Amino acid sequence: MAAYTIGEVARHAGVGVDTVRYYERRQLLPPPARRLSGYREYDHHDVRRLRFIRRAKALGFALDDIRALLDLSADRERGVHGLRARAQARLADVEARIAELQKMRRGLRKLVAACPGDGALDHCPILAALDGKEST
């Protein structure tokens, strides 16, 4: 089995060295074996785990959720159900954020369309909306 230094495991996983150390401190990555020199030693399981964490983060999972996903990934009886439930919850969060962003976009489009882009500031519909005043 191949043994990797911290720099090698980071490179293979697509993360930074400081990220590897951070995940160790947060106990998302088990403490690595140490060489006689004291240097950390990693293996392909660590690379897979780091990639898992990186991909989960890219999907918007928080570190506590990722810890739960990692635990569930080792649970042969409840793992699939738990993983699906976590993914469904994350999807619901994303969909709620998208709806909120779409609402913000509609509001901003109205404001931009109502603003001529010139003239006196006291007649600016954007400032009036932000101040809670009606535009004149």
Could you please report the per-residue DSSP string of 62-86?
Answer: -HHHHHHHHHHHT-TTTHHHHHHHH
Rounded Cα distance, 119 and 109, in Å:
19
For the chain, the residue count is: 136
Look at residue 123 and tell me whether its pLDDT is greater than 60: yes
Rounded Cα distance, 95 and 103, in Å:
12
pLDDT in tens, 49-96: 999 999 999 999 999 999 999 999 888 887 888 999 999 999 999 999
Find the DSSP H helices in 26-124: 44-58, 63-73, 79-114
* Closest C-alpha to 89, from 67, 70, 61, 64: 61
Rounded Cα distance, 20 and 8, in Å:
11
